[in-house]
Amino acid sequence: MSEKQEIRKRIRTLRKALSASEHRVKSERICREAARWVDHKALSGEQSANRSVFVYLPYEHEIDVIPFIQHCWDRGYVVYAPHVDQAAGQMQLFQIRSLSDVEVGSYGIREPKLSLPLLPATRWAMLDWVVVPGLAFDQHGGRMGYGGGYYDRFMARVAASHPESDRRPLCIALAFGLQVIDHVPMEVHDLRVDCLITEDMTLVIDSASYNG
């Protein structure tokens, strides 16, 4: 078993072992902190006037990010969710305005309905925040996903669409504390997150200063 496989197996086991009440309480705490951080960034004027967020829909034992999504709706932020095109190995982003815009798709994963407004790839760089799923994270912004590479390719396309611009979405990881490890093995093409939020901390990461 490779190092990545071992980490994924270990974190899945730890996350699955959380009781329903622990999972709910910690998810709610993390969502509150994420909402506070995003609101602060919005009020500071650092982000665009669009105040748009791309966020995954939780599956199985992932953090329940629905309270965070609801907060974004309540604040009038524009919310996009992913629909995965497995044949193409890419994601499409559709705007959702309520949970009635969501249906159960492949493998029991909730996805936006395909009749909803689509955000073209040429406008992905205009997003303010991307909430990225993952299994393990470290305090240098390292992230280990599920192995599909969808979010790595997503951010690569964002960079390629506006190569002359510094404008890009901030990547936020919402994670249980048990998902934070000392070091995530990373490759050059793997994305790093800009902010890591757990039930116990909010860590803003200066990726440019990391030389590991």
pLDDT digits (tens, 9 = 90+) for 86-116: 877 889 999 999 999 999 987 788 999 999 9
Q: How much is the pLDDT for 49?
A: 61
Is the model's pLDDT at 46 over the cut of 60?
A: yes
**131-169 pLDDT tens trace:** 999 999 999 999 999 988 899 999 888 888 766 666 789
Query: What local confidence, expressed as pLDDT, does residue 211 receive?
Result: 36
Lowest model confidence (mean pLDDT) among 46-50, 97-101, 131-135, 174-178:
46-50
Which whole number is the average pLDDT over 112-137? Answer: 95
Quote the CA–CA distance of 160 and 148 in Å, as a whole number: 20
Structure confidence at residue 208 as a pLDDT band (50, 70, 90):
very low
**CB-based contact 53:172 (threshold 8 Å):** no
Answer yes or no: is pLDDT of 27 > 90. yes
Name the 3-class secondary structure at 54. Answer: strand
Residues, the chain:
212
* pLDDT at 47 (0 to 100): 59
Q: How far is CA 48 from the centre of its chain?
A: 19
Contact 165, 207 (CB under 8 A): no
Q: Where are the alpha helices (DSSP H) in 45-184?
A: 66-74, 150-161
In this model, does residue 212 exceed pLDDT 50?
Answer: no
What is the rounded CA–CA span in Å between residue 30 and residue 11? Answer: 18
pLDDT at 189: 82
Mean pLDDT of 169-188: 94
Q: Give the model's pLDDT for residue 95.
A: 98
Q: What is the mean pLDDT of the chain?
A: 90
**Domain 3-206 belongs to what architecture?**
3-Layer(aba) Sandwich (3.40)
Higher-pLDDT residue of 47, 1: 1
pTM for the model stands at 0.91
d(CA 140, CA 157): 23
